[in-house]
Structure 1
């Protein structure tokens, strides 16, 4: 089952990533993606092992961004692959049928391609401008999600779609109505003194949408 809220780790150092992951696990997150950029394979592997220990303590799913090999080595719940990363079909061969594989998309063509490669969910965005990505794809906005999801479903594809990119609590109602199953948030959660309140509100709004 794909969570309504994906916390994407953030921090200036691997230690800050781990600190923030622990903070979100304590706050009640149930899905964490370790997203370390511009670090060596060894550093990401070491951080992933520590992150897996934290997530296991709180029974939280850990997804590794970009590195199927590391997801395999630390027995993470899965991997999230960007548009320029390894093919999901190759990652599936390594990880097996029971692990979660997600992929990043910006267009209907991207989504259809990921469906053909049998990913478990799609991270679609960006919703708005965000500083967490260096190469930002064209911004979608709420109308973009509605149109794209409508076209995707018209083609018989009902894969879970998670909205990504600069999302805040105020955006959740309109995104929930757009048809996405959940949201991925990073900076907005890190900035909260009491992230557990934000987590609770997000989960509540998506659960109300599903009633």
Structure 2
């Protein structure tokens, strides 16, 4: 079952990926994506092993962003591939049929391609501008989501859609009203003074 709340790791000056992941797990997140962009494969594997030790303690799902070979090496639950990363087909070939594969989309063509492949969920965004991602696709906003979800309905696309990109707690209800399944956040939890309160508020909005 795909979670309605995804946490994507980030790194700040005062805290690294592992510290943020531990905080997110402590706060109640049970779907974690380790997203370390500028590291070697060897460093990614080492980081992934430590991240999995944390997520295992909380019975949380751990996905690796971008690199299926890293997910394989640490026996993560799956991988999330971006538009410019490994293809879902290659990820499936590397990881096998029992692992989770998610993909990033920004257009109906992206969504259709991922649906045809058979990904487990689709990360659709960005909702608004975010500094977390360097190569940002065109902003969608509520109107963009509504248009794309309407087209999904017309095409019979029923893959769970996860909204991502600068989402605040107060955005969630409106986003879900478009037909989106859930949300992915990063800075919202990482920058929170009390991550547990933020996660609780998100869960209320998501009615998890």
TM bucket normalised to smaller: over 0.9
Q: After superposition, what is the alpha-carbon deviation per residue over 1:119-139, rounded to whole angstroms, capped at 9, x for unaligned? A: 110000000001111111000
The SS at the match of 1:133 is coil
In the alignment, the residues of structure 1 paired with residue 87 and residue 67 of structure 2 have an alpha-carbon distance, to the nearest angstrom, of 11
In the alignment, the residues of structure 1 paired with residue 90 and residue 81 of structure 2 have an alpha-carbon distance, to the nearest angstrom, of 11
CA contact (8 A) 2:169 2:205 kept: no
Q: Match of 1:70?
A: 70
In the alignment, the residues of structure 1 paired with residue 83 and residue 16 of structure 2 have an alpha-carbon distance, to the nearest angstrom, of 26
Stretches (4+) displaced over 2 A: none
Gaps of 5+ in 2: none
Q: Match of 2:117?
A: 117
Give the alignment's TM-score, normalised by structure 2. Answer: 0.96
Q: Match of 2:169?
A: 169
Q: Match of 1:21?
A: 21
Q: Match of 1:86?
A: 86
Alignment of 1:113-152 (within 5 A): 113-152=113-152
Report the CA distance between 1:12 and its aligned residue. 4.1
Give the alignment's TM-score, normalised by structure 1. Answer: 0.95
Gaps of 5+ in 1: none
In the alignment, the residues of structure 1 paired with residue 206 and residue 168 of structure 2 have an alpha-carbon distance, to the nearest angstrom, of 14
In the alignment, the residues of structure 2 paired with residue 71 and residue 106 of structure 1 have an alpha-carbon distance, to the nearest angstrom, of 24
CA contact (8 A) 1:89 1:118 kept: no
In the alignment, the residues of structure 1 paired with residue 116 and residue 135 of structure 2 have an alpha-carbon distance, to the nearest angstrom, of 25
Deviates more, 1:109-118 or 1:189-198: 189-198
